[in-house]
């Protein structure tokens, strides 16, 4: 498989990248990044790009890909509501439109989050819910709603979150509350193999799908 990946410098995206590079079913990973990556895997191709609302200059990265794993995101506590909507909704839909054009029929996987709900009082949850629905309508996306993701904290993660993150491993026995970052990546690859489409996938099912992967 040829995989297009966004968000490789985030904690979830970095774990998904590692899972993709380790998977025997993946031949190539194309990463859209703002800065070059240190990873030197022969499977990895990086495309340095600045404008996440317009991908015309990197359309080759989108061409003939089997799946797009969209792991790019930011905490609503780190930016204004306007910036959050741009990053969460506009960046994602711009990528989905280019992906549909260059890889029609390819699988699109979007990392959303547990608690996403159209009628939520929380602004972030409403934005993610709209993003999910529009992606399902546009590219028959699978939308993944992990709870705690066990992965190495990204440099941009607020220090308080980075300090308390290891406590999240206490949730490991609970299928609804914990998933390892590698398993999130494996689950998305497995869903591509199984041709799952137009699905909203909660944390417990993420773990179930990952457990079916044999690569």
Residue 19 reports pLDDT greater than 90? yes
Q: Where are the domains of the chain?
A: 2-212
pLDDT in tens, 27-36: 999 999 999 9
* Per-residue model confidence (pLDDT) at position 96: 98
Averaged pLDDT, 19-45:
96
How far apart, in whole angstroms, are the C-alpha atoms of residue 173 and residue 147? Answer: 13
Phi, psi (rounded to 5 degrees) for 160:
-65, -45
Averaged pLDDT, 18-34:
98
* Per-residue model confidence (pLDDT) at position 22: 98
Tokens representing residue 92 in the block:
């994602």
Choose the CATH number for 2-212 among 3.30.1200.10, 3.40.50.720, 3.40.50.450, 3.40.50.300.
3.40.50.720
CA 74-185-139 angle, 5° bins: 75
* Per-residue model confidence (pLDDT) at position 166: 78
Averaged pLDDT, 131-151:
97
* Per-residue model confidence (pLDDT) at position 157: 66
Residue 109 reports pLDDT greater than 80? yes
The single residue listed with the structure tokens 């799946």 is 67
Residue 174 reports pLDDT greater than 90? yes
Q: Of 6-15, 39-48, 134-143, 153-162, which range is least confident?
A: 153-162
pLDDT band at 156 (very low <50, low <70, confident <90, very high): low
3-state helix, strand, coil in the chain (%, to 5): 45, 20, 40
* Per-residue model confidence (pLDDT) at position 165: 76
The single residue listed with the structure tokens 């794993």 is 69
How far apart, in whole angstroms, are the C-alpha atoms of residue 184 and residue 138? Answer: 23
Average pLDDT, the chain: 95
How far apart, in whole angstroms, are the C-alpha atoms of residue 141 and residue 107? Answer: 7
Q: Which of 1, 15, 53, 16 is nearest to 153 (CA)?
A: 15
* Per-residue model confidence (pLDDT) at position 158: 64
């Amino acid at each position: 498989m040829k995989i297009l990946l966004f968000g490789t410098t985030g904690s979830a995206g970095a774990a998904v990248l590692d899972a993709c590079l380790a998977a025997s079913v993946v031949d190539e990973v194309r990463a859209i990044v703002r800065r070059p990556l240190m990873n030197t895997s022969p499977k990895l191709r990086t495309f340095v790009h600045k404008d996440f609302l317009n991908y015309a200059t990197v359309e080759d990265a989108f061409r003939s890909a089997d799946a797009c794993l969209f792991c790019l995101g930011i905490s609503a506590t780190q930016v204004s509501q306007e910036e959050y909507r741009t990053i969460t909704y506009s960046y994602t839909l711009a990528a989905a439109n280019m992906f549909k054009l260059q890889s029609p029929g390819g699988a699109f996987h979007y990392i959303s989050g547990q608690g996403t709900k159209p009628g939520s009082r929380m602004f972030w949850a409403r934005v993610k819910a709209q993003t999910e629905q529009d992606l399902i309508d546009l590219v028959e996306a699978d939308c993944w709603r992990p709870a705690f993701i066990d992965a190495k904290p990204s440099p941009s993660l607020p220090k308080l979150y980075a300090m308390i993150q290891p406590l999240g491993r206490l949730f490991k026995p609970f299928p609804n509350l914990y998933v390892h970052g590698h398993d999130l990546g494996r689950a998305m690859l497995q869903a591509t193999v199984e041709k799952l489409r137009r699905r909203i996938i909660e944390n417990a099912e993420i773990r179930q799908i990952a457990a079916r992967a044999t690569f």
